[in-house]
Structure 1
Amino acid sequence: MAARHLRTPWESYKRQSIQEAVIRLICREGLKSVTMERVAQEVGIAKGTVYLHYRDKQELLDEVKSSALAPMMKTIEEILHGDGAPDRRLRAFALAYLKYFDEHRDLFRVLIYEREVIRVQGSRYQSDRYRRLIEATARVIGEAVRLGLFREVDAHIAAAMFVEAMFALMNQRLRSDKLAAVEDDAMLFGDIFIHGLEKRRKA
């Protein structure tokens, strides 16, 4: 097996500069403006330098998408692994998730819907990012079950339902030009999901 290449600080800085240039071009002119040559011009480097860091445009776009999602994933994992009642953590998760996509709306409308960026349908289910999200959510749901807050359910199935429903709501918000307040949608989402899981009290 080949040794893993460790990037120098300069290489990491250069890759970040290239990714930031792609984001500026996408938000300013759309995906069609993103060519290796235009990216090089935006950064102020030779086109060949872009190819030193990225094999082709697809690899560059994949990396931009992954990097754009990284801060959101960090925030979500901190919420799910944090303190507080499980139901409150799930509500905080929903709000933080929806807010992040609202705040980066122009970028993600391109990264999620443009055919040139989209990989094979279903590939997200095989990603490490998706697996971590499901597992962390399942741990919180399982904790709520043990505490008697939620009824007995398969935590992983419930977690998949939670995450997939949130994807659907995020997609709806990205596609719509008439948005409810993100706090209202997050509260509605939390109410529907959490009240559905709550343990029923005997009369």
Structure 2
Amino acid sequence: MRKSKMSLIFQAAIDVFSEKGFDKATMDDIAARANVAKGTIYYHFKSKEELFLFLVEEGVELLRDGVESKLLPDMTPTEKLELIVREQINFFGQYRDFCVILLRESWGAEERQLEFRKMIRSYMYLIEAVVQEGIAKEEFHFVNPENVSSGLFGMISIAALHILLGHKPYDGDALFQDMRRMTFSGLLKQGEDKL
């Protein structure tokens, strides 16, 4: 069965942006990699920027939907936050090139940064809601949920990127254990250190 042209374009764009970065990638490169005419890409996307933002939006949506589909109402806030940590780590391991694109290019042009932040915020709202629930149930310390969500997302993302760019084997279980330890040693009230 042949892949649809859109899925070919999507994968080619991920490959090219990951390899060359946004600034050096061209629509010609993407068309050649997808084995489609450049006009086919321009039929769907007005510019390289629009294609790039589409990729990021789709990737963040895939991450968010994947996590949301596994969160169950009867889970405790700790179980939910553990699941979020594990799923984000697994996602970056499965979609390595997307991880590289998302994190390496997030510091690009100011307009692109604003779009990135909007897209990532939709995922971080999910984390915030779990932190708020944990605070309400007195399972977590009283913290600023927005700070925790951005810190948690950033900590996991940068740790994953460090491994991926260092071309080391991506051991999701080991990374999860480290991130879990860092996350919950500071959030859980039980066994808390006297600060």
TM-score bracket relative to the smaller structure: 0.7 to 0.9
Q: Secondary structure at the match of 1:127?
A: helix
2:176 corresponds to which letter in structure 1? E
> Among the aligned pairs, what percent are the same residue?
19
8 Å CA contact 2:60–2:120 kept in 1: the answer is no
Q: 1:3-58: per-residue Cα shift (whole Å, max 9, x none)?
A: xxxxxxxxxx543331112123345x533773212222233322112111111111
Question: Residue in 2 aligned with 1:76?
Answer: 67
Q: Which runs of 5+ in 1 are unaligned?
A: 1-12
**1:133 equivalenced with 2:123 (yes/no):** yes
8 Å CA contact 2:60–2:123 kept in 1: the answer is no
CA distance in 1, matches of 2:53, 2:86: 26
8 Å CA contact 1:40–1:47 kept in 2: the answer is yes
CA distance in 2, matches of 1:15, 1:47: 13
8 Å CA contact 1:86–1:140 kept in 2: the answer is yes
In structure 2, relative to structure 1, the CA distance for the partners of 1:199 and 1:186 (3 Å cut) is: closer
Q: Secondary structure at the match of 1:45?
A: coil
2:36 corresponds to which letter in structure 1? I
**1:172 equivalenced with 2:163 (yes/no):** no
1:162 corresponds to which letter in structure 2? S
Q: Taking structure 2 as the reference length, what is the TM-score of the superposition?
A: 0.73
Task: Please show how residues 28-107 of structure 1 align to structure 2 within 5 Å.
Answer: 29-31=19-21, 34-80=25-71, 82-107=73-98
**1:148 equivalenced with 2:135 (yes/no):** no
- The Cα of 1:128 is off from its aligned counterpart by 5.0
Q: Which runs of 5+ in 2 are unaligned?
A: none
Question: Residue in 1 aligned with 2:184?
Answer: 191
Q: 1:149-188: per-residue Cα shift (whole Å, max 9, x none)?
A: 235x36xx22432332331332133124367722222321
8 Å CA contact 2:128–2:148 kept in 1: the answer is no
Q: Secondary structure at the match of 1:148?
A: coil
- The Cα of 1:96 is off from its aligned counterpart by 1.0
**1:113 equivalenced with 2:113 (yes/no):** no
Q: CA RMSD in A?
A: 3.2
Instruction: Report how many aligned residue pairs link the two structures.
Output: 181
Q: Taking structure 1 as the reference length, what is the TM-score of the superposition?
A: 0.70
In our comparison, the structure showing a higher alpha carbon Rg is 1
8 Å CA contact 1:35–1:57 kept in 2: the answer is yes
Q: Secondary structure at the match of 2:46?
A: coil
- The Cα of 1:61 is off from its aligned counterpart by 1.4
CA distance in 1, matches of 2:60, 2:162: 18
- The Cα of 1:122 is off from its aligned counterpart by 5.5
